[in-house]
Structure 1
Amino acid sequence: MLHTTIRGDEKLLMEAAKKADVDLVVVDARGLVLSPDVWQEKCDVVLERCVSTTIGMHAIAFFESLNIPVVNNLRVANICEDKFATSLALNKAHVPTIPFALAFDEVHAVQAIEGLGGYPVVLKPTGGSWGRLIAKINDQDALEAVIEQKMILGSPMHKALYFQKYIEKPGRDIRVTMVNGKVVCAIYREATHWVTNTARGAEAKPCPVDKDLEKISQAASRAVGGGVLGVDVFETDDGYVINEINHTVEFKNVQRVTGVDVAGEIISYCQEVLS
């Protein structure tokens, strides 16, 4: 198991591996030298759990080049770490998702917003997690201010202006935990703020999984290539829609409030990948 810090999730995985009598070697990826000319360590399957997307993506590519299976694989990681790529994959697979658009300057950002039906919209970086650096844009003045900040102070990634139509939620969203195309469990993430993320203070509560939720979650998993995923779902008057998909999914709150052994499911899946 590769990591860049041991969180509660990784501790649960270590406990689950011990219960399953799986020899789980825990490796801090920050200390690795990834060179095929000098690499000598033997492993059967790599479980990538790095908080750092940069380290994680390079590690996945390296181990796959050695024909070592990685959970999740590079194709899945490449799609899910990029919100625009995720939206494209969902749209291509005809999975209901939030209307979206990408622009690269203010003039075309206005056109993008018009195409989404006007204000309000949500502006996000194409990469990132925990609900960080996202903005609800209510009008032209707010758009100009945020774009100026991004263009002058932001990194190249922030100059890709990824917009989603703003969706009114019932004070919550749904996180569905998927393993190998199967819905393991789901939680509501409830908050008074429009950003419903547990990293931003949302409260996790168990969510029943009906047939429609199961169906759209499975379709979303197929669209990006499967594996171990956290699928974020919004409830709308027209049914469920997919917001984002996470490929290095955090699950400690999910396991805590549902009682489902998510860590055990992940370890079992790694064994299936190996076999």
Structure 2
Amino acid sequence: MGRVRPVAVLASRVRYEEKRIFAALERRGVAFTHVDTRRFGAELEGAPDGPPEYAAALNREISHSRALYASLLLEARGVATVNTSEAIAVCGDKVRTSLLLRRAGIPTPRTAVALSPEEGADAAERLGFPVVIKPLTGSWGRLVAAVHDRAQAETVLEHRAALPSPQQHIIYLQEFVDKPGRDVRVIVAGDEVVGATYRYSDGWRTNAARGARSAPCPPTPELTEPARAAARAVGGGVLGVDLVEGPAGPLVLEVNHAVEFQGFQQAHGDAVDVADAIVSHVLDAASGARSREAV
């Protein structure tokens, strides 16, 4: 009998979510090891002998760059990763995400992209004010601005033009959706919808990291079907799908590959166990990898 290969949990910071995941793995008796991505590396030459070191890897790294390249390196060594490097790359780029959602026929807000800040104000005007200007990458609502006329747009875009990163000079704009003071977060693990929450805020941004209040949301088909379809469109995995309730029905705002779920879990209490659902999906990935090894 070969040795039991552990599940790797990749994280440079152990937060509420990672502690819950460690506890869920322990309850199931699953061997695991915490890999600090700041201390992780791999040689590219030569394939390792025998099966991969890990049964699977759950990528919980908060740095998008480290998360992407950690999954790439592990996949090259035959390790099943959750999430995959492709899903991380897509979710980390709002343009790529929007194109895949549109191709899959998933309702989203009207969106425009300009390839320079100078063109951004014209693109905003064509889209129609008010519009929301977002960075291509990032989370927690940082560098997101709602502008109500061309003068405001030009002020925001002037700031963007001064930023050193060329990626910040690509302008991503969405229509401002008149929502009922909340949005919806749906967590999907594989094909399973784990649950949904409303996120309420006194401002127009409803990110939990900015103090939004979470409350249970009934997981109706009107919400779960587009969320599940959005998760499939970006490659699947453990994903947080954000929706807004527009006048004509729910619209998918974005798909997040690094799911934080403290507010979500606290809103649901014992009725939902997000960490356990994540572990179930990782074990399914490990089982699928073993089956492929046996062929």
SS in 2 for 1:102: strand
- How far does the alpha carbon of each residue in 1:157-209 deviate from its partner, in whole angstroms, 9 at most, with x for none? 11010101111111100000001122110001000100001101100111011
1-structure distance, mates of 2:88, 2:231: 12
Superposed CA RMSD in Å reads 1.5
Which residue of the partner structure matches residue 115 of structure 1? Answer: 126
Structure 1 residues 202-241: aligned runs within 5 Å: 202-241=212-251
Distance 1:264 1:139, change over 3 A: same
Matched, 1:168 2:178: yes
Q: TM-score, normalised by structure 2?
A: 0.89
Matched, 1:124 2:134: yes
2-structure distance, mates of 1:213, 1:145: 36
* 1:107 Cα deviation after fit: 4.5
2:58 touches 2:82 (CA, 8 Å); kept in 1?
Answer: yes
Matched, 1:18 2:29: no
2-structure distance, mates of 1:235, 1:211: 14
The residue type paired with residue 49 of structure 1 is R
2:216 touches 2:267 (CA, 8 Å); kept in 1?
Answer: yes
Flag as ranges the 4+ runs of structure 1 deviating above 3 A. Answer: 36-41
2:184 touches 2:199 (CA, 8 Å); kept in 1?
Answer: yes
Matched, 1:267 2:275: no
2:121 touches 2:157 (CA, 8 Å); kept in 1?
Answer: no
2:117 touches 2:169 (CA, 8 Å); kept in 1?
Answer: no
Structure 1 residues 73-88: aligned runs within 5 Å: 73-88=84-99
* 1:154 Cα deviation after fit: 3.9
Which residue of the partner structure matches residue 91 of structure 1? Answer: 102
1-structure distance, mates of 2:232, 2:224: 12
Which residue of the partner structure matches residue 146 of structure 2? Answer: 136
* 1:101 Cα deviation after fit: 1.0
The residue type paired with residue 78 of structure 1 is A
2-structure distance, mates of 1:147, 1:39: 47
2-structure distance, mates of 1:105, 1:184: 39
Which residue of the partner structure matches residue 205 of structure 2? Answer: 195
- How far does the alpha carbon of each residue in 1:68-125 deviate from its partner, in whole angstroms, 9 at most, with x for none? 1100111211111111111111001000011111102344223322332x11100011
SS in 2 for 1:204: strand
* 1:245 Cα deviation after fit: 0.4
Between the aligned residues of both structures, percent identity stands at 39
Any unmatched runs of 5+ in structure 2?
1-8, 288-295
2:189 touches 2:281 (CA, 8 Å); kept in 1?
Answer: yes
Q: Which has the larger radius of gyration?
A: 2
SS in 2 for 1:25: strand
Q: TM-score, normalised by structure 1?
A: 0.96
The residue type paired with residue 9 of structure 1 is E
Which residue of the partner structure matches residue 185 of structure 1? Answer: 195
1:45 touches 1:70 (CA, 8 Å); kept in 2?
Answer: yes
Which of these residues, 256, 261, 267, is aligned with residue 266 of structure 2? Answer: 256
1:188 touches 1:206 (CA, 8 Å); kept in 2?
Answer: yes
Q: Give the paired residue count.
A: 274
Which of these residues, 36, 42, 56, is aligned with residue 44 of structure 2? Answer: 36
